[in-house]
Structure formats: structure tokens, C-alpha cells
Amino acid sequence: MFNEEDDLILGPTSRVRWCYATSKIIDEFLAKAYFKEKRLPIVVVRLFNTIGPRQTGQYGMVVPRFVQQALLGEPLTVYGDGNQRRSFTWVGDVIKAMITLIQNPEAYGGIFNIGHTKDITIYDLAALVKAMTRSPSEIVLVPYEQAYEAGFEDMPRRLPDITKIQRLIEYRPSLDLPEMLERIIAYCWQLLAQPEASVRPALMLSAEQIVGPGVR
């Protein structure tokens, strides 16, 4: 479980995967410097796997990718061995928390985790999506070397400690993962059911057969 004051976990610069984390670290340093020297009212938030309707899998977002694959009857591709654990947070909770923080002067200059206290393995996430969509899709493990690059490094678990934000603004996640998935699946199904949707009719028919009326 990650606390805001814990030491950071980074790999070597030879692994491109860590450039994203490094860029966010620099942003935090700059924001804190402006608060300290210029008294700029900044708030730094660290988001843990935010999900919700209208999210795409374009940048590796696992939930929309799994849901799309399941609805279209495609294999659910799990990278690595699937034992890596992640927590998922409803987008509405994240937005509410951020608005509340920026309206609270006691938060200025601070760093806050925003996330959920429950986590799940990525393989179990795929199985849950498959079950909730009643999809015939198989779950396929894809080695990191095939999905990314040789020597790719991943974090085995990413779970936030939200004690700090709970104390300041009484933040609490409002939805658990199955409730989030139910809303996301319903939204994606509506997209597939639209006549003007940019998917082949065969895929739309497949989605209708897979999902059925119970998820609408």
C-alpha cells in the first residue's frame, strides 16, 4: 500500500517504461517549488486507475479494453502472468475529490492519493468482465516481451493508502468494482447497439448475442 510519503519505486533509465513515472515526479517537484517560493495554491493528486464510461483503451487502459474484447467476442488479452494487482476508482469519485480539494485551502501545497482500498488481480478482472458480459471470449496470457519490449518491468501491486485524504475531506469510494463495471458495460453496449456505430454489423450482432437484454 502506497503512502504519499513512501519512497518511490523506479527502474533504470534503460527501461523506457519508467519515463512516464519520472515525468510526473518532476511535475510534483515543480508544483511544490512554486507553492513554497511563490505561494501558488497548488494541490497534487496521485490517481490510481480511474475508470468510467467513455474511457478508451487507446493508451493501455485495461478495463475498456477488456470490456470491448468481451462484447465483441474477442480474446481477453492479459499481459504477463495476470497476477499483478490493481485497484480501480470510479471517475465520479475522483472528480468530486479533486473539486473538494482545490476548494479547501488546507489542501494547498499537499499531495493526496485518490483511489480505492480494494484491489484485484488482472486475471481475475478479466474473468469478472467475462462473467458480467456473459461472453464466450477466452482469456489469453500475452508475455510482456510480446506486448511491450524485452525486459519490460511491471509493479506487482499498486494500492493507495487514502488515510490522508480521508482525514481532510472525508473521502470515501462510493462504488465497488462490480458496480463500476456494470455501468461501463451498459454504456459500451449502448454504443454497439447504435445503428451509426462505426463497427461492422457482424460485430454488432455478436455483441447482442453475447450481452443480451439483461445488461442494458
| Out of 3-7, 9-13, 164-168, least confident range | 9-13
Contact 108, 42 (CB under 8 A): yes
Residue 86 backbone zone (phi > 0: left; psi -120 to 50: alpha; other: beta): beta
Q: pLDDT tier at 151 (50, 70, 90 boundaries)?
A: confident
In order of their start, the domains of the chain are 16-215 (3.40.50.720)
Candidate list 20, 34, 144, 187, residue with the active-site label: 20
| Out of 40-44, 159-163, 193-197, 211-215, least confident range | 211-215
Q: pLDDT tier at 50 (50, 70, 90 boundaries)?
A: very high
Q: Check whether 81 has a pLDDT greater than 60.
A: yes
What is the pLDDT, as a whole number, of residue 165?
98
Mean pLDDT value of segment 122-135 = 98
Is 20 annotated as catalytic? Answer: yes
Q: Check whether 45 has a pLDDT greater than 50.
A: yes
CA dist., res. 171 & res. 83, Å (int): 29
Q: pLDDT tier at 8 (50, 70, 90 boundaries)?
A: confident
What is the pLDDT, as a whole number, of residue 200?
38
Torsion of Cα atoms, 180 then 182 then 188 then 189, to 10°: -170
What is the pLDDT, as a whole number, of residue 204?
37
Task: Tell me what percent of the residues of the chain surpass a pLDDT of 90.
Answer: 71
What is the pLDDT, as a whole number, of residue 198?
53
Residue 125 backbone zone (phi > 0: left; psi -120 to 50: alpha; other: beta): alpha
β-bridge pairing 44-47 and 85-87 = unpaired
CA dist., res. 155 & res. 40, Å (int): 33
- Which residues on neighbouring strands pair with residue 85, listed in sequence order? 121, 157
Mean pLDDT value of segment 102-123 = 98
Q: Check whether 37 has a pLDDT greater than 60.
A: yes
CA dist., res. 145 & res. 119, Å (int): 25
Q: pLDDT tier at 195 (50, 70, 90 boundaries)?
A: low
pTM (predicted TM-score) = 0.85
From 41, 45, 31, select the one nearest 97 (Cα to Cα). Answer: 45
Mean pLDDT value of segment 138-145 = 94
Residue 160 DSSP symbol: B
For the four alpha carbons of 145, 146, 148 and 149, in that order, the dihedral sign comes to positive
Kind plus residue range of the DSSP H or E element containing 60: none
Which amino acid does the sequence have at 24?
K
From 162, 163, 145, select the one nearest 154 (Cα to Cα). Answer: 145
What residues have CB less than 8 Å from 142, skipping those under 6 apart?
Answer: 77, 78, 79, 80
